[in-house]
Amino acid sequence: MCGIVGYTGTGKAGSIIIDGLKKLEYRGYDSAGLALQNEGKVVIIKTAGTVAALEKIYRGNCLTAKTGIGHTRWATHGRPTEVNAHPHGGCSDDLAVVHNGIIENYKLLRSWLIEEKDHQFRSETDSEVLAHLIEEYYDGDLLAALRRAIDEVKGSYALAAISAREPGRIVCVRRDSPLVIGLGKSENLVASDIPALLNRTRRVMVLEDGEFASITAEKVEIYDAGGKPVEREILEVNWDLEAAEKGGFAHFMLKEIMEQPVAVRETLRQRIDLPSGKVDLSELAMDTGEISRLKKIHIVACGTAYHAGLLGREIIENIAGIPVDVEVASEFRYRRPLLAEDHLVIVISQSGETADTLAALRLARLRKVKVLAVTNVVGSTIAREADQVLFTWAGPEIAVASTKAYLTQLVALYLLALYLGQVRKDVDPALALDLVKGLLELPAQLEKLLADEKLEKLRAYSNHLACWDNAFFIGRSLDYPVAREGALKLKEISYIHAEAYAAGELKHGPLALIDEGVPVIALVTQKVVLEKSLSNIQEVKTRGGAVFIITRDDFGDLIRQEEAVFTLPPVGDLLAPILSVVPTQLMAYYTALARGSSVDQPRNLAKSVTVE
């Protein structure tokens, strides 16, 4: 995710664009930049800091330009440095481009432009290739050059460009990344999202996939992929600014839960080859020899990321056959863990800044053990200090309660397990192919799950839950870590004391706590222990517990007769945890709503825990 804003009109383009970028910082905030048409040139200002830092630099320049484009970045290809910040220019200072998305074939295009066309590149980004391609094809019409460039490009993009030779004009195009056009009085704008437009206008047009637009102060023209003009309906937006920043959702947490299909799709993108079923993680710095010699893996993380690690252990041991230990970072860092050179430490961290996880990383490196980081933030301290990084592409996560980042951490661990298993030739190719196909189906399954009318059932049970001060989550096998994550989410935002138990442990103590109406959420997605899980549910029900079951569609009538049941689309045992956690996230959300607690910023907690 990144945020784009373009403006052309009679106002001061720089200030208007910066104002718009501030409203898009939820889409990324590691670097920012601005390109303005100024006295026959395109002037580019950028910084490795936030939009506020960009504003300071802009105020120091006397630029009265009326047309420009801006960008706030969430780094994907290339670290969050000034040179990698957008806008990107070509070889001359004639043109600038801002881009949100991923250009999959940029390496090929870049080599062609350098070797055959003598272009000189400055940054490490995939996006810069767009500026050089447009420059290469420019022949007096920016839209025509953009069209030719886009013909060559594979991937996802929302893109806006300006040229010094066409004053007052912005051209843009989109595929799989959003763009909206705002219609003002003697001014028009383009942006990644509506909040960036609301200070100037409430009249918007949505650009559809594959469409191009040419925007001047007086005119907006939209064309389809074939170049035919398109009539687009004008929408009147009546959201207030706060609602608009959350994409119309009441809270960032709900928005981020709903973004999970896209986050999973992005994390899988370009890492799987079909029909071979091969996982390609050549982005990692481990050669075949190192992978084959691996004797043990230690996963270290905190909170939700630790729960991803608990599942990581099951996944890696199952698929790649390598023994795995999992530990919370605050404990690991003060022990003398038994580490050896043929071990690998995996640290998992959404923010890449968690102090305990970072300390664990440093301890491992001091002990000469290679560290692989699974993180969501390019350029974070953990990403920089690890020997190798497997990025999750969840986009910025704003709500303190982690949801989409957790799901992408799981996906990254499945990919890693498959990759290690395939390199070591320890995974049965048929099983690998099955899993790979299952992974690719997840985004569609998540979309279905999140649109399900059954969500009402979750809401109804959450209203019951909201009246209690204690709740229990139970599950066996791979359901147990999911139960732990469900309990953490509930306590974090609803302040209900929630505990998770391996269902088989109930009789060894916790069953004493079950009484009439006590809420118990049971995860039942593992075929191997289905009968056992059902018996544990009976034990709870006999004592009056109010059980809510999260299970799979294909577990049949056995469970379906129950009233409080949420069923998941058909999914195998190994992949079930990716789907089964979603109803627990929603349940925590609905319960917090019912109790009136602060969903996005729970008391006493912070998004990034950079102190011990």
Residues that are catalytic: 2, 607
The CB-of-140 to ligand M6R minimum distance in angstroms stands at: 49
**Rounded to an integer, what distance in angstroms lies between the CA atom of residue 578 and that of residue 344?**
24
By beta-carbon proximity to ligand M6R, the closer residue of 352 and 519 is 352
Q: Output the CA torsion sign for 214, 219, 220, 223.
A: negative
Stretch that binds ligand M6R, among 114-122, 351-359, 455-463, 501-509 (CB under 6 A): 351-359
Stretch that binds ligand M6R, among 42-50, 300-308, 416-424, 427-435 (CB under 6 A): 300-308
The verdict on 350 binding ligand M6R (CB under 6 A) reads: yes
Nearest to 578 by CA among 453, 465, 435: 435
The verdict on 25 binding ligand M6R (CB under 6 A) reads: no
What lies within 8 Å, CB to CB, of 235 at 6+ separation is: 203, 204, 205, 206
User: Looking at 76, 304, 462, 536, which residue binds ligand M6R (CB under 6 A)?
Assistant: 304
**Rounded to an integer, what distance in angstroms lies between the CA atom of residue 585 and that of residue 164?**
49
The verdict on 401 binding ligand M6R (CB under 6 A) reads: yes
The verdict on 188 binding ligand M6R (CB under 6 A) reads: no
By beta-carbon proximity to ligand M6R, the closer residue of 37 and 409 is 409
Phi, psi of 453 (to 5 degrees): -65, -15
The verdict on 291 binding ligand M6R (CB under 6 A) reads: no
The CB-of-500 to ligand M6R minimum distance in angstroms stands at: 14
The verdict on 267 binding ligand M6R (CB under 6 A) reads: no
Stretch that binds ligand M6R, among 79-87, 198-206, 348-356, 544-552 (CB under 6 A): 348-356
The CB-of-607 to ligand M6R minimum distance in angstroms stands at: 7
Cα 291 from chain centroid? 28
By beta-carbon proximity to ligand M6R, the closer residue of 267 and 350 is 350
The verdict on 354 binding ligand M6R (CB under 6 A) reads: yes
Stretch that binds ligand M6R, among 94-102, 312-320, 396-404, 416-424 (CB under 6 A): 396-404
The verdict on 525 binding ligand M6R (CB under 6 A) reads: no
In the DSSP assignment, the letter for residue 181 is E
The CB-of-315 to ligand M6R minimum distance in angstroms stands at: 18
The verdict on 257 binding ligand M6R (CB under 6 A) reads: no
Q: Is 521 exposed, middle or buried (0-12, 13-18, 19+ CB in 10 A)?
A: buried
User: Looking at 72, 267, 357, 580, which residue binds ligand M6R (CB under 6 A)?
Assistant: 357
* C-alpha pair distances (Å), 543 with each of 164, 503, 532, 547, 577: 76, 15, 17, 11, 28
Q: How many CA atoms lie within 13 A of 461 on its CB side?
A: 26
**Rounded to an integer, what distance in angstroms lies between the CA atom of residue 439 and that of residue 419?**
14
In the DSSP assignment, the letter for residue 68 is E
The CB-of-493 to ligand M6R minimum distance in angstroms stands at: 8
Query: Which helix or strand (DSSP H or E) is residue 333 part of?
Result: none
What lies within 8 Å, CB to CB, of 301 at 6+ separation is: 308, 309, 328, 329, 347, 348, 349, 354, 357
The verdict on 585 binding ligand M6R (CB under 6 A) reads: no
The verdict on 349 binding ligand M6R (CB under 6 A) reads: yes
The verdict on 402 binding ligand M6R (CB under 6 A) reads: yes
Nearest to 23 by CA among 65, 70, 77, 85: 70
Phi, psi of 46 (to 5 degrees): -150, 165
User: Looking at 17, 75, 181, 305, which residue binds ligand M6R (CB under 6 A)?
Assistant: 305
By beta-carbon proximity to ligand M6R, the closer residue of 135 and 356 is 356
The verdict on 302 binding ligand M6R (CB under 6 A) reads: yes
Whose CB is nearest to ligand M6R?
303
The verdict on 494 binding ligand M6R (CB under 6 A) reads: no
Stretch that binds ligand M6R, among 144-152, 349-357, 532-540, 563-571 (CB under 6 A): 349-357
By beta-carbon proximity to ligand M6R, the closer residue of 347 and 417 is 347
By beta-carbon proximity to ligand M6R, the closer residue of 355 and 513 is 355
* C-alpha pair distances (Å), 263 with each of 85, 102, 137, 144, 258: 22, 13, 34, 33, 10
DSSP character string of 198-215: TTT-SEEEEPPTT-EEEE
The verdict on 400 binding ligand M6R (CB under 6 A) reads: yes
Please answer whether residues 142 and 161 qualify as being in contact, where contact means their C-beta atoms are separated by less than 8 angstroms: yes
The CB-of-605 to ligand M6R minimum distance in angstroms stands at: 6
**Rounded to an integer, what distance in angstroms lies between the CA atom of residue 56 and that of residue 54?**
5
The verdict on 450 binding ligand M6R (CB under 6 A) reads: no
What are residue 42's DSSP bridge partners? 37
DSSP character string of 545-576: -EEEEEEEGGG-HHHHTSSSEEEEPS--TTTH
Interacting residues with ligand M6R (CB under 6 A): 302-305, 349-351, 354, 357, 400-402, 488, 492, 608-609
